[in-house]
Structures are given as C-alpha cells and as structure tokens.
Chains A and B, each alone.
Chain A
C-alpha cells in the first residue's frame, strides 16, 4: 500500500506516532537502559514513566486545547489559569481548609470560571479568540499574584500533594489523571454528538448555525473544558512543589500545549480533531527534551534542536510537502 492510498485519517495519525517511536528509539540508542522499567515497592520506575509523568501537565492542557482549536479558536490563557488554580487551592489550604474536596473543588471552579469568561467573550461577543484569551493570559497571572498576595505560598497537605507526587496502581498519579481526563473527554465527545458539533462549528460556523447547532454554546463549552483541564494541570504543578508560585506556574506552557495539538495533526483553522494524537504530541515534546539531555549536547543547543525536530515532524505531516516530494521524484525520474 502506498502512502497516497492511505485514508487522510490514517495519514494524519501516522506521523506523530512514528515521530514518537523514532524519538524513543533514539533514546534507547543513547542510553540502553531507557526502556527498562523497575518495580520497587509496587511502583514502576524508569525513564519512560518519567517522560509520561513530566508530560502530564502539558498533556492535560493539550486535551482542552484540542477542543478549542477544533472550533477554530485558541486558548492562550491556560498557563495563567494553571497559576490561578494553584493559587486558589494553596490559598484554601493556607486559610485553614482541610477538606480535600473543597480544596480541589475550589481549584476546578476557578478553572471553569476562567474558561467561562473566555468562552463568553468568544462565543457571545464574537471577540477573536487570540485577543479574548490574551486578556486572561496577562490578567490571569496578576489575579494569581493577588490571591497569593505577591508571595510564593507554600503549604503542607498530604491529600492534596498526592495529586502531584502520589502513586496509584504503581503509576505516578498525574499519569492517572491524564488517563481519566482523556477517557472522560473521549466519552463525552465520541459517545455523544458533541464531538461532531465541535468539528462542525470549526469546519464552518455559519453552516453549523443554519443546521441549528448552538454554536455559541459549543464555544462556551470548549473553553470551559479547557479551563478545567488547565485547573487540573495547575493543581498538579502546585502539589508537586508543595507551593503556589504565581510567577512561574505554567509559564509558557500554553505554547507547548498548542504545539502538542499541532504536532497531533490538528489544523488551527478548526475542524477535525483527535485528543489521542494531541497527547502523543505532548509526549513527543517531553521525549525530545529528554533525548537532548541524555545525548549530552551542550544545553545551549536545546531549543534549536527542539525546533528543528518539530519542523521535521510538521513537514512530514503536510500534504503539500508530500506533493512537492512526489513532483521532485517524478522530475528526477524523467531525467534519468
């Protein structure tokens, strides 16, 4: 079977998966024990687990971002929302709340509220997504600082810290959270018609409106989901360090999340989406970082190598790139 005979869906998913595979393989070549996983006290340890654990926050952001991008939007505020959610949870703990449900609920609520603001501006006021979410990207960090009164708030709360450093079924809890979120979102999108509506709104908002889809509500919803995912990621980050750092929590992670979705093959114009491939995208970004560290290349080359690898993956996905290659081959063949 030739590449061009594959269905577009298969073609799209091929490259991210191959990309991840190649990266992991490279890691094995560099350090042979990369794939080895040890079991100590019923817990799995190893580089692979590490990659997944560290990729968890970006993977969570990417899940929400996938839906937003599918509607043709983008959510720049997720990094700041992480900071807000972390600050709210930390504030509750420091304020004397011990009930874990309230601490987590507070963080989630902050995330939904942020998403609601974004979604309302985009859906009901028709403000460009970049602009609408930029507002909260900038203001959000300020809000988090206010909540923290400008300090780095540290806390100790065993149940909450479990979010970042706990283990369940032998796996770090952040990985479990990604899996749970993925399954929930997947059920919501693919077992109901919501996924179809999200794609419809992204493919052609005006046509969706004529079909009778409530496009405004759909937009509101995806930003809320994105806010929720960001809140979970923010709480993981806070739990991990046992503190809330409004200046640095989730800093620039929105860009990684967008990149993960793009590596996963989604178009920024909206339409088709795959949450699974976006998570693969997040793993690729993390695996790449580890590869660079393992390979012993001087750290000053890190960003350049990362950029180059990402360009390669994006090129491989581009249909136009394949057309050009085919043309090039044909021309070469005709000459010889």
Chain B
C-alpha cells in the first residue's frame, strides 16, 4: 500500500478514552508533497488522530511510521524533533509572552549563548508580514484576537515544518484574504516536498487546495479518495453517512421589516475602540455583521452586550434606554452573547456539559432560584439531542468533547437562556456541515418566534444564507448596510473592499 513517497503511515491506530473509543483501527497515509484533507463530523476523531501522531496522546494500538521507521513520540517536542510540526485546533501558545517569543519558543535565535532579542523580533515581524500581519511583535500574545493568534500559530508551525505539517482547523476564524494567503504558503511548502495534513469543515477549501482526502466517521476510517474524482455530494454523504438536506428560507425584506417592531437600537453609539454607528435589529430578524479581521465586529458585539462601555450615544431595547454596568444586567434584560474565543471566553473546562449548558439560564433566574436537578438534566438531554452533540454522558467535563461539540454546548447555553436578542460571534466556528445546516435551521425557527439575532461571521456564504440584513464593518466603523435581495457574496465583498 505504501509507496516510496510515503512520509507518514498509520496502520490500525487505536485510541480509547474512558468510555469512548475515539479511534478504532484507523489507517492514514500521507505522501511527500501533498496536501491531504482529514475530514469527518464533529467528534469523528480527527483531532485525536492528530494528537496521537504528535505525542499528545499515546496510542493504545497500531503503528505509526515516519519515513518507514516506527515512531513513538512521547510529547510534542519529540514529534517536533522528528520533523512533524503542528498547529492545533485550540491555539495553545503562551498568552503572556510576546508574539515574537511565541513564534520562536524553544528555538530562539542566540548570540554568544544568549537570546538575540533584536534579531528575534525582526525575524518574527518579517515572518508575520508574509501573512499580511503588520503587528507589534513585542506585545503580549493575548492582546490580539483569536484570529490573529491563529495566524501567529500558523506562522510558527509553518516556519518549523520539516517533513510534515499538520493544520487542525487553521482557517476556522480567518477571512477570505487570509485563507488565500495561507493557501499560497501551503502550496509552496507542498512543492518543496512537505506533506501537509489539513483539517477543515469548509468543503470549498478542501477542493481549493487538497490533493487527497481521508474521511473518518465515529473513530473509524470511511475511505481515502482523490479530491479530483470525489464530488462534494459524495464527500458529504461519506462524512455524515447520509445525504444532507438544506432548507431555504425567505428573507425578511425591507418593507416587511418596517412593519415589525424594533427590538434593539443603537444610535450613534461608540466605545473606546469603535466609531459612532447606528444599528437596529427587529424582532425575528437576523442581522449579519460582515467585515475583515479587526474591523470591529467583535467589538460591536461586546458593546451591545455591555462588556465594553458605551462612551457616547445611546442604546434602546424595546424602546427603553439601556445602559448596563455589568454583564448580569444584560443577561437579565434578555441579551445573550456567544463569544468568539471558545477556549478563553466560552467553556468552563472542568465542569460538566450539563453545568455548562444551564449556567446562563441559572444566572438569569438568580442564584437563589436553583434549577431543580431533574430540570437541568432534561434541558441538557434535550439540547444534546437537538444539536446532535456527540457524547455518551451529560456529566462529562466539557473539555473532553471535540472542538465542534464544545461550540454546540456554548450555543445550547444561550438557547436555554431564551434571550430576546442573541449576539453570536462566529457561532458556527468549527461546526461540521451536517450540524451547520441544522443549527441554522434551529436559529431560524427561534427567530420566527420573535428572537432578534446579531451574527458576526467571516463566512459570507453563511451570512448570505440566513441574514435579513447585513451590516458591513471596516476599520472599526460601519461602512454599509445591505438588506433583502441586495445581499449576495459579491455585494458584501465589494462593501468590505470599499467599492460600493
């Protein structure tokens, strides 16, 4: 099976966690100079397979061979020394160190045995400029958004890649331009003979760069395919084990929107980081927020939710002026914010799925009105079923779920709290195609019941699919507002680029 140009070969790899068989005899073959997509539903075992290859987990069985010799990496450093470099799904750099320190961690340029800071900073800057990232590399990593952090992690991984480069959902929070520049770099590395493993839930990206595709389902191998000969439809049905149904929905046009009551309004509102802007959301309306990285989408969500303070202008909910001095007031008033950075601002890692889900509702009710255990379980079971969260048990700590499933739990947390206005910042980040369609359907249904929705997303397709109105942001200000039939990927893209 393995030919001469095989660089990494996995045969019959098994990995079990207590109560879960995450990998059940998986084969995987990576050739030199190819980009190989590793696909599957949320919880299929992609990240686990990667972590087994790179020594984060020890396999319970099977063989992993690099260049024909079996390897047993005991930790990520080992794998790195062997020539396998990895960008993990959750950014796992050191948040308090500077950007440059992170890029060169454990391989700092030295001069006379001590770290050559100037060279390190200069080289880090040059490296990042290759990704159109013109930032201060001496600032701590956590002063940048997840998307930027992700780019930094990619730059680090790519610059270290020797034989194999593994990218686990690197594009989850990147916008089109960054994806394009990443792809150029990937192609370049491929041409230099490096084998690249690429995990993503964006199928068009698979076809844009990948040569071959391996599909997993429930910890088992479905098959290995040539990208050129596998249709997208077949790909999806291999992944899900069934056909994908897609619902189309009627957009709420301008005229209709006027007849609905305005749920939320921001008049010339601004914060320390945003220029004054107007925005309004009607009951039952989905308002999309489009824009490039750093355009102010996340900041706008934070402003509406009261995490950032309104420095000017005013905000109205149901025609009443609102001004929150803490987030609890926002939640009680009927707002909910599903944040962008799942790991940092979303999950309560060691706590159970049930606890993670009921937390927002509980907080809304107040601490003295404890939700009876029976009700908590019912709620959790309900959302596990509705959102198809892959787990054996609602009492499992959330950090044992796969990335996409964690995202679903966070969504469930806010759905359970039944807000009037929901703010979703990159809500479908890392969610597979099957669940994606279902989640959008679910959200639409809620909107029909009067929920107002503000969605920031870098996925234009998603915005076009379900937004009734799209607000385009650039450089921390609002530059356009599209509604009804004016919304298309092209019009949004033009507005983002500033040619309207």
Contacts and interface: CB of A to CB of B under 8 A. Distances in A.
Interface stretch (A171-179, A195-203, A244-252): A195-203
Nearest to B399: A203
A203 B350 contact: yes
A272 interface: yes
B360 A212 contact: yes
Nearest to A271: B350
**Residues of A in contact with B, size category:** 20 to 34
Between B350, B369, B395, the greatest number of chain A beta carbons within 10 A of the residue's beta carbon is seen for B350
Interface in B140-181: none
Interface stretch (B189-197, B221-229, B244-252, B340-348): B340-348
Interface string B345-372: 1111111000100011011111111110
B367 A210 contact: no
Interface string A161-179: 0000000000000000000
A320 interface: no
Interface stretch (B25-33, B123-131, B271-279, B325-333): B325-333
A211 B370 contact: no
B351 A199 contact: yes
A219 to B, nearest CB: 13
Contact of B327 (A197, A199, A210): A210
B291 interface: no
B133 interface: no
A211 B363 contact: yes
Nearest to B306: A212
B346 A210 contact: yes
B337 A210 contact: yes
B307 A196 contact: no
A193 B326 CA distance: 19
A208 B345 CA distance: 8
A192 B307 CA distance: 26
A5 B345 CA distance: 31
Contacts of A192: 367-370
A66 to B, nearest CB: 16
B362 A193 contact: yes
Contacts of B348: 199-200, 203-204, 207-208
A209 B363 CA distance: 11
Contacts of A212: 326-328, 330-332, 360, 363-364
Given A193-B367, A193-B370, A203-B348, A210 B359 contact: no
B71 to A, nearest CB: 18
Contacts of A300: none
Nearest to A204: B348
B413 interface: yes
A5 B20 CA distance: 12
B420 to A, nearest CB: 14
A14 to B, nearest CB: 16
Contact of A214 (B328, B344, B355): B328
Contact of A211 (B366, B397, B413): B413
B18 interface: yes
A169 to B, nearest CB: 31
Contacts of B362: 193, 196
Interface of B: 18, 307, 326-328, 330-332, 337, 339, 344-351, 355, 359-360, 362-371, 395, 397, 413
Interface of A: 4-5, 7-8, 191-194, 196-197, 199-200, 203-204, 206-214, 271-272
Given A212-B328, A271-B350, 15 more contacts: A4-B18, A8-B397, A191-B370, A193-B366, A193-B371, A204-B345, A204-B347, A206-B344, A207-B346, A210-B345, A211-B331, A211-B363, A212-B326, A212-B363, A213-B359
